[in-house]
Structure 1
Amino acid sequence: MTLEANVIRDDAVSRTSEGYDVAVHIAWYRSLPLSCIESITITLGDKSFTSEDVKLKWEGELLPLSALADRTEDWWFVQDALTFQVPDASPVNAGEKTKLAVSLATRIPYIIIGPNFPLVQRTDVEKEVTVQ
């Protein structure tokens, strides 16, 4: 199995009163601090949501991605999914199928590819899922 194959699972999308919760697994073989998340774009059906639109659900908090730069002590473990809240005023019903696409950029802090510049792992995955 590739690292990308694990990013989206069949039960990744849940409908909520705000829109959706989307569970995303890391596309790397080692755990990384939350501060390494550079950007994410989530597309459900024909609607795209950028890093400015979504919020990370973390230990009872809703965090904008802009707040993650200082989260060096909070870790995204390889076995755990992060849940992103995606606002949508008209989400599809639970039980319906929809296309889910995730574009994720994560910095790999221990692989330096230039002067003080870490590798940025870019992952694009797409899968048809059933909304929970």
Structure 2
Amino acid sequence: MFEKYLVNPTGFRNVEKDGEVIGYEVQLRIPYYRGLAMSCVEVIDLTVDEESVSNQAMLITVKGETFTFAELPTAINHRWEMIETITVFVNQPGGLQAGEHKVHAFVSLRISYLPFNNTGEDEKVLVLEG
């Protein structure tokens, strides 16, 4: 139900450091009706233009704190609330070309009171300004 909001249409941009494009950012919303600790995020699969992004290339920022994907199980005090976005930075020197890009995301969340994971999947065409 909430998965249609997973890929946030705003916040898609290349990231520069010292005048050089070092990667790009995608913003995601939680595909669940409640907020959860980031330690409950078991899977973030991101595909941009049919190319899968490795978890090792991602940095995830929630409420100003940044984690590698491998660090998420330790992020017990950092919550991803329903109305908030997290930012996924993808380390890709040169970033992406300006124009349209197909962004697909899949997220799997561990819910303490459910015998199965809650999952969400969304795909949108986003425009990267040049």
The question of a shared fold, defined as TM-score above 0.5 by the shorter chain, is answered with yes
* Structure 2 equivalent of residue 47 of structure 1: 51
The residue type equivalent to 2:97 in the other structure is N
TM-score by length of 1: 0.83
Cα distance in 1 for partners of 2:42, 2:110 equals 7
SS of 1:110's equivalent in the other structure is coil
Equivalent residue, structure 1, for 2:4: 5
Q: Give the distance between the partners of 2:68 and 2:22, measured in 1 at CA.
A: 15
Identity over aligned pairs, percent? 22
Task: Tell me the C-alpha RMSD between the 2 structures.
Answer: 1.7
Does the CA-based 8 Å contact 1:24-1:82 persist in structure 2? yes
The aligned counterpart of 2:18 is none
Determine whether 1:124 maps to 2:124. no
Structure 1 residue ranges without an equivalent (≥5): 114-118
Q: CA deviation at 1:120?
A: 1.2
- Number of aligned pairs? 124
Post-superposition shift, 1:61?
4.2
Measure how far apart 1:25 and its partner are.
0.2
User: Partners of 2:65 and 2:30 in 1: how far apart?
Assistant: 20
Gaps of 5+ in 2: 16-20
Output the CA distance in 1 between the equivalents of 2:83 and 2:5. 10
The equivalent of 1:73 in structure 2 is 77
